[in-house]
Structure 1
Amino acid sequence: MKKLFFICLILCNQIVLCQTNQVVSKDISQIQPAAKGDFTLGNREFLLNGKPFLIRAAELHYPRIPKEYWDQRIKACKAMGMNTICIYLFWNYHEQQQDKFDFAGDKDIAQFVKLIQANGMYCIVRPGPYVCAEWDMGGLPWWLLKKDNIQLRTLSNPFFMVRATKFLNEAGKQLSPLQIQNGGPILMAQVENEYGAFGNNSEYMEAMRKNLRNAGFDKVQLMRCDWGTNFDSYKTAPDVAITLNFGAGSNIDKQFGRFKEQNPTAPLMCSEYWTGWFDKFGLVHETRSINSFIGSLKDMMDKKISFSLYMAHGGTNFGQWGGANSGPYTAMVSSYDYDAPIGEQGNITDKFYAVRDLLKNYLNLGETLGEIPAAIPVMSIPKIQFAQSAALFQNLPQGKKSLDIQSMEMFDQGWGRINYRTNLTASEKPRKLIVTEVHDWAQVYIDGKLIGVFDRDKTSNTIEIPATKNNAVLDILVEGMGRVNYGKDILDKKGITEKVELKDDSGAITLKNWTVYNFPIDYAFQLNKKYITNKPSGPAWYKAKFTLNKTDDTYLDVSTWGKGMVWVNGHAIGRYWKIGPQQTLYMPGVWLKKGENEIVVLDLEKPKEAAVTGVTKPVLDKNSSDVSLLSRKPGQELKLTGETAITQGTFDATEVWKEVNFQQPTVGRYFCFEALNAQNSKDTNATVAEIELIGKDGKAIPSKKWKLVYADSEEITVSNNVGALVFDKQESTMWQTQLVGKKSKYPHQIVIDLGQDEEIKGLRYLPRTDGGKTGIVKDYKVYLKTKPFAF
């Protein structure tokens, strides 16, 4: 009893010490483990030390939070009513170079878990090796891509399996002592992540289960997570608890319906209950209302279903860590605010209070809500003018010779920008430059003059270049943005991945003999330039000093800049792009200094004004006025007169995947889905969550090369419901026709360019899954052509 009293006293003192202090207490490492415990699966419930335990978890990501703020974020979660913190481990964060593991400082994951315990909370660990999380390559390290014929998340690639196993072993060294059976706070460890959305190989998942056990997670309860539509696409060992992921507004009974039929005695848990959603460059800011999710959360509490709020607090994709979606390719912005209950800066929102007010009614006997931690102050900073700059093409690093185009990774570069240079032959006529493929955004220069821009999945891979003299210098400056973090396309190399061709009347030739210049993100690289006082007209670094008398948080207003990245005092703050929706970057005060500070900006375009101001509120919802978010051009009208549908029919009103088989396989490149009416005959609105096309092998055709050509109507005013969401592989997002302003009427159409001719024998359609009834399609037609549709 004396020992337990002493431990509790230490924990209480630790909480008091951290209550009003942003900086982690130095005494945290002195906290002793609690008494050894146990956490197991019972009959339709979890058991903590033999007693029923309902998990109320909050997802937090330590790399998205400065270490000095870890404690404040954990306390905020406890104050919201949570008893558990759920965390991913990020392989590529800890092993940025092969065999160089780093778990120190901001990467000290054991320290983070000990802080969770110090605050009287439990922990669920999700070590991957793949995590998704809208994180670069889903947490897999870029250097895997240097290996020829690499395959990911599969037993068939020995190199991947060896490296993944080694990372799990390193993770086990850090965290296995903190299992609850050893006196730590870790209740469960997750095997892989959402594997049902990627594959169905039970042997792979069994290998990962064994690797996790062998890595030291040998006592703790194991779990896995999937969706209600694919959790049974593979099998796992009986000791692995199965949990489901779904979003705001979901019908709880329907989400768990099939699962309960197959697992009648299993505990129920929503391992990711999506409180909001993530933002992508060039699209509308994502929000989810309080009413859209609080009802389903209450339903889970009433039904005694465990949950984890994804995200309770999102944080920030500092530096290069934001990932991307594919189909179409869209990169994540730097803010991972997620419209979560706890805002990006740790600020308390109305959504937080709604959750707190709900959960106070479901606390265990003797349990109380934690105190809401003090807010971290926010300040403004007067305008910082950049007097010094260094033009990119006048500050080229040492070049590397390469006969053929190769990706960024093959030049031992993980992130940043890369320039490919070669010489052109003379031509008196314009020619076409064909680049296959640009990953992800590129500017084309000839003799230093900007000729055009390639934007992956948004522009053609061909531009016309003017007549050139002999030996004209061709530069293709490529920015690698986020690597795809979800689906089959996570094998996402950067730079130019295949070839560059020059085409004239006589045909096309592949360009050779390149000089390659690497521009990594390391801070020292950005400083090692010849900064002078001038106003460059193209890509350049800008540097300035500024003085502060206090160091509170702020938001850097980058709305006058074009496209690039910001560093402050050696910290990579994040990417920005004028197209929005994010126009400010979160700047933690703990990374600022009293006195002199240094800021560096790399801008690939010419800024309207080379200045930055620190403001007190973020701007996350402002898109550029000169960039259209609609796929339909002004006055454009799809002409289906004279076209013959390859199939037509009627969907029933159930909210599940529906499969349509064509009378015979049909070959085509241009696909049109036409919704003729809704299940509710009064609806003028249409919604579609997902469409998959089935190939001749019976499998879904990869959507990596798909591009949305046309949508007759898209809602971009009050929500982000663009047409491309029908093939983004996310069941909780959807295409929705315009809700406000001038509404269109049925029929509604979307047209997709598949990128090449495909033999298709059917399709799969998923109606909206958010619990809403508006716009669910009833009657439909499908068209498929080898040539484009007429407009």
Structure 2
Amino acid sequence: MMKSSFLRTLLLVAIMAFAGRTTCAADNGGGTFTAGKKTFLLNGKPFVVKAAELHYPRIPRPYWEHRIKMCRALGMNTICLYVFWNIHEQREGEFNFTGQNDIAAFCRLAQKNGMYVIVRPGPYVCAEWEMGGLPWWLLKKKDIHLREQDPYFMDRVSKFMAKVGEQLAPLTIQNGGPIIMVQVENEYGSYGEDKAYVSAIRDIVRQSGFDKVTLFQCDWASNFTRNGLDDLVWTMNFGTGSDIDSQFSRLRELRPESPLMCSEFWSGWFDKWGARHETRPASAMVAGIDEMLSKGISFSLYMTHGGTSFGHWAGANSPGFAPDVTSYDYDAPINEYGQATPKYYELRRTMEKYSDKRLPSVPKPATELISIPRFSLNEYAPLVFGTDSMCVARSPLTFEELDMGWGTVIYSTSLPEINTPSTLAMKDAHDYAMVYVDGRYIGRTDRVRNETTVSLPPVSRGSRLDIVVEGMGRINFGRAIKDFKGLTGEVTIMANVDGDDVTWKLNDWTMRTLPDSYDHALRAFKRFNDGESMGLKLDSRAGYYRGFFNLKKTGDTFINMETWGKGLVYVNGHAIGRFWSIGPQQTLYVPGCWLKKGRNEIVVLDVAGPVMAETWGQDRPELDKLQTEKSNRHNNPGDRPDLNSATPAAAGQFAQGRAWQTVKFNAPARGRYLAIECSSTHDGSEIAAIAEIYVQDTDGRRIDRSSWSTKYADSEDADNGNHTGDKAFDLQESTWWSTTYGASMPHLLVIDMGAEQTIGALEYLPATGQDAAGLTKDYRIFVY
């Protein structure tokens, strides 16, 4: 009797467990996901995608499942992820899908936890990731055409995609797995117009095993038709505060029966070195998701959890050069270290309204937060002891020509006799270059600040010039992704000798490579301790530092780097990420799963040298503390042009509304500087705002903006959303330049185009956010 009762109880428990389990495939082991009439269909039934974007390389593997559970408790039903080509094929032909790179295991964890998966394999992904996910070694072929039908590029894409197919094609929903959709390329309309190329990528994706799964492509509402393919699902990307209906209006016209999806709804934004930490209001994010769900519109929240760009994987943005910080917190609902924010709980309350069952409980943090007392890093090895190889060449070679992906190169040559002060010019030093003469530090150039010259003292013939060049993340967006590192152009010295301007081109270089790796750091300490001679000495505190700290318990912590200069950190052999004293990020996230009870090691490579070689662990991050040498604003009175007597190239009134507008000039205008004067707005406010500006040549073609920079802005709202002048030409329609409240009209923005241009028209996009002020009415445009 008792045995029978016990068996009935076990059976009841098993039935209840099965009934409560969410599955990601049909009962026969396979299923379907298709685009139906105005809705997606999952196994033939209407389905709204509620996706959370997560990136497996930005989350330590021991925390993968916790982050997935956090997304499910938020009310999401799908995980959306990029596949990062360059982390899987770091050397040509050497593929790695194991450990932290085991993307199939990540997808299986999603399925285990009742989540579907959307895969975005690129080959280009952007994501504020090194070179947008493309491998650095592609640049060893200097004439390569990236993201085009370059034979070598397409061959390597095919090989990579085949490897992705081996990992993930067995996990499509048709095969009983969680993958319901696969993306073709990524936001190609922001790069160019080439349907033949996009079609070729589509074919490669299909041939890689994704021939039955639903394929889609994403772009912005302003450009998605340029490369839209008839046989793919079209989705839109836009951010918090956008007018939802207007974002889909064109798609509704062209495909009235198509399901609607925002494949990237931006919850926040990414941070750049030297600029304030980016945030976006929770209320605007939640309102947008509420509106989409009320209208049956699918979405993916980019990012739901951003994580960390560990090691050297943070990229950089363009125009100009704007490297991204290590933290990819993104002001997301789940913060960098995996904890729920107030934004999370506000969104969860809205998501509950659209769930037919009670949401799972919010998981406890994966680990506790700990602090570590201040300690010193007493071991030291000078920078040169990290040398991996030496090479001699007539002209300086790039990192890629030296067969190095990431790190630092010391370039050395002899100087001519110059008896007067001179100017060293390095127009194409990528990215941060420190200059030494006979071992003594002289100065530096910084690509971020567009610095290209250093003043030299008088020098004797044969004096040694050493230039230490650190490469930061390669540009990840726009045409500038072909971003070589090191001294990428000639180096010259200019001086006035006896009344004549004289220029010397420097040749005959010795180059020492210092790759970014923990093993090379350890070798530097061994060489130094063994008394090896490296044949070079720099009078500097730059180099490798090592220290130790003891823990009675482990947990997540944040290593403070405020007393250090610029470089990288390793903890217990794990590459933690880049630091830079300018901020805004002053701490580096160290996951507790990479720490251990007892003795822990920290190694710091500082290419500039610390103020104090000490650090400590905090129980909270510091992501918004700037320590720049000068303001990030562009309001120097000396840079303001006198336009009182100047003749504008165009003047008039912009139409009311938030769509693109084009102003054609009556006659071509030539000059290096573009000035836009805003003297009134349609809403009567004194706020001026511009989301994007392009200029066209006399044939109507857009002129390249990669060398643009802000020359002057009478007002910039740098403290409330980073609305600085560069936002008017940053290739992002969802960010904008805005003046501050209280600054009176007229407002002026002046752009340095880098060289003289002949302009026939200007394209203008007002701030696109619904809550954005500053719809300019009366304007004048000057070119000088």
- What range describes the TM-score normalised by the shorter chain of this pair? over 0.9
The code of the aligned residue for 1:523 comes to Y
The code of the aligned residue for 1:528 comes to R
Aligned to 2:674: 671
1:501-524 deviation per Cα after TM superposition (whole angstroms, max 9, x unaligned) = 122234323211100111111110
1:610-662 deviation per Cα after TM superposition (whole angstroms, max 9, x unaligned) = 11111000000111164311122267644222211111111011101111111
Aligned to 2:408: 417
* TM-score, normalization by structure 2: 0.94
The code of the aligned residue for 2:66 comes to Q
* TM-score, normalization by structure 1: 0.93
State yes or no: 1:373 paired with 2:363: yes
Aligned to 2:44: 50
1:19-41 deviation per Cα after TM superposition (whole angstroms, max 9, x unaligned) = xxxxxxxxxxxx99972100011
Aligned to 1:711: 713
Matches within 5 A, 1:364-763: 364=356, 367-375=357-365, 376-393=367-384, 396-505=387-496, 506-530=501-525, 537-624=540-627, 626-633=629-636, 637-681=640-684, 683-739=685-741, 743-763=742-762
Q: Could you tell me how far apart the structure 2 residues matched to 1:755 and 1:538 are?
A: 35
Q: 1:12: Cα distance to partner?
A: 7.9
Q: 1:368: Cα distance to partner?
A: 3.1
State yes or no: 1:331 paired with 2:323: yes
Q: Pick from 197, 208, 213: which aligns with 1:204?
A: 197
Mapped contact 2:427–2:453 kept (Cα < 8 A): no
Aligned to 1:76: 70
| Structure 1 residues 715 and 325, CA gap change in structure 2 (3 angstroms) | same
Q: 1:162: Cα distance to partner?
A: 0.4
The code of the aligned residue for 1:124 comes to I
Q: Could you tell me how far apart the structure 1 residues matched to 2:18 and 2:310 are?
A: 34
1:90-138 deviation per Cα after TM superposition (whole angstroms, max 9, x unaligned) = 0000000000000000000000000000001100000000000010000
Aligned to 1:25: none
Q: Could you tell me how far apart the structure 2 residues matched to 1:449 and 1:540 are?
A: 15
Q: 1:770: Cα distance to partner?
A: 1.1
Aligned to 2:7: none
The code of the aligned residue for 1:97 comes to R
Q: 1:434: Cα distance to partner?
A: 1.2
Mapped contact 1:154–1:204 kept (Cα < 8 A): yes
1:742-784 deviation per Cα after TM superposition (whole angstroms, max 9, x unaligned) = x321111111111111111111000011112411211111111
Mapped contact 2:544–2:606 kept (Cα < 8 A): yes
Aligned to 1:170: 163
| Structure 1 residues 257 and 96, CA gap change in structure 2 (3 angstroms) | same
State yes or no: 1:105 paired with 2:99: yes
Q: Could you tell me how far apart the structure 2 residues matched to 1:457 and 1:749 are?
A: 23
1:418-446 deviation per Cα after TM superposition (whole angstroms, max 9, x unaligned) = 11111101111112211130111111111
Q: Could you tell me how far apart the structure 2 residues matched to 1:32 and 1:51 are?
A: 12
The code of the aligned residue for 2:352 comes to K
| Structure 1 residues 462 and 43, CA gap change in structure 2 (3 angstroms) | same
Q: Could you tell me how far apart the structure 1 residues matched to 2:430 and 2:762 are?
A: 29
Q: Could you tell me how far apart the structure 1 residues matched to 2:230 and 2:364 are?
A: 45
Aligned to 1:116: 110
Q: Pick from 323, 327, 350: which aligns with 2:342?
A: 350
The code of the aligned residue for 2:210 comes to F
Q: Could you tell me how far apart the structure 2 residues matched to 1:383 and 1:163 are?
A: 48
Mapped contact 2:640–2:712 kept (Cα < 8 A): no
Q: Could you tell me how far apart the structure 1 residues matched to 2:388 and 2:133 are?
A: 29
State yes or no: 1:249 paired with 2:264: no
1:323-344 deviation per Cα after TM superposition (whole angstroms, max 9, x unaligned) = 1111131100000000000000
Q: Could you tell me how far apart the structure 1 residues matched to 2:579 and 2:15 are?
A: 47
Q: Secondary structure at the match of 1:484?
A: coil
Q: Secondary structure at the match of 1:399?
A: strand
| Structure 1 residues 34 and 285, CA gap change in structure 2 (3 angstroms) | farther
Q: Pick from 121, 127, 134: which aligns with 1:127?
A: 121
Q: Secondary structure at the match of 1:256?
A: helix
Q: Secondary structure at the match of 2:427?
A: strand
Q: Pick from 353, 361, 370: which aligns with 2:353?
A: 361
The code of the aligned residue for 1:227 comes to W
Q: Could you tell me how far apart the structure 2 residues matched to 1:121 and 1:49 are?
A: 15
| Structure 1 residues 6 and 197, CA gap change in structure 2 (3 angstroms) | farther
Q: Secondary structure at the match of 1:567?
A: strand
| Structure 1 residues 35 and 430, CA gap change in structure 2 (3 angstroms) | same
Q: Could you tell me how far apart the structure 1 residues matched to 2:26 and 2:141 are?
A: 44
1:250-309 deviation per Cα after TM superposition (whole angstroms, max 9, x unaligned) = 111111111101110100000000000000000010000111221111110111000000
Aligned to 1:26: none
Q: 1:7: Cα distance to partner?
A: 12
Q: 1:397: Cα distance to partner?
A: 4.4
Aligned to 1:22: none
Q: Could you tell me how far apart the structure 2 residues matched to 1:689 and 1:32 are?
A: 46
1:319-377 deviation per Cα after TM superposition (whole angstroms, max 9, x unaligned) = 0000111113110000000000000000111111111100111114xx33122111121
The code of the aligned residue for 2:683 comes to N
The code of the aligned residue for 1:145 comes to L
Between 1:505-514 and 1:749-758, the stretch displaced more is 505-514
Structure 1: gaps spanning 5 or more residues: 16-30, 786-791
Between 1:620-629 and 1:101-110, the stretch displaced more is 620-629
1:154-188 deviation per Cα after TM superposition (whole angstroms, max 9, x unaligned) = 11x10000001111110000000000000000000
Q: Secondary structure at the match of 2:277?
A: coil
Q: Secondary structure at the match of 1:249?
A: coil
Q: Could you tell me how far apart the structure 2 residues matched to 1:766 and 1:158 are?
A: 37
Q: Secondary structure at the match of 1:662?
A: strand
Mapped contact 2:429–2:469 kept (Cα < 8 A): yes
Q: Could you tell me how far apart the structure 2 residues matched to 1:6 and 1:109 are?
A: 31
Aligned to 2:133: 139
Mapped contact 2:440–2:539 kept (Cα < 8 A): no
| Structure 1 residues 697 and 141, CA gap change in structure 2 (3 angstroms) | farther
The code of the aligned residue for 1:778 comes to K
Q: 1:605: Cα distance to partner?
A: 2.2
| Structure 1 residues 435 and 625, CA gap change in structure 2 (3 angstroms) | closer
Q: Could you tell me how far apart the structure 1 residues matched to 2:20 and 2:281 are?
A: 36
1:25-59 deviation per Cα after TM superposition (whole angstroms, max 9, x unaligned) = xxxxxx99972100011001000000000000000
Between 1:603-612 and 1:419-428, the stretch displaced more is 603-612
State yes or no: 1:161 paired with 2:154: yes
Mapped contact 1:391–1:536 kept (Cα < 8 A): no
Q: Could you tell me how far apart the structure 2 residues matched to 1:163 and 1:184 are?
A: 27
Aligned to 1:64: 58
**Number of aligned pairs?**
758
Mapped contact 1:457–1:705 kept (Cα < 8 A): no
Q: Secondary structure at the match of 1:76?
A: helix
Q: Could you tell me how far apart the structure 1 residues matched to 2:430 and 2:111 are?
A: 42
The code of the aligned residue for 1:514 comes to W
State yes or no: 1:290 paired with 2:285: no
Q: Could you tell me how far apart the structure 1 residues matched to 2:690 and 2:379 are?
A: 51
Q: Could you tell me how far apart the structure 2 residues matched to 1:311 and 1:553 are?
A: 21
| Structure 1 residues 12 and 377, CA gap change in structure 2 (3 angstroms) | farther
Mapped contact 1:33–1:184 kept (Cα < 8 A): no
Structure 2: gaps spanning 5 or more residues: 1-12, 532-537
Mapped contact 2:395–2:508 kept (Cα < 8 A): yes
Between 1:458-467 and 1:349-358, the stretch displaced more is 458-467
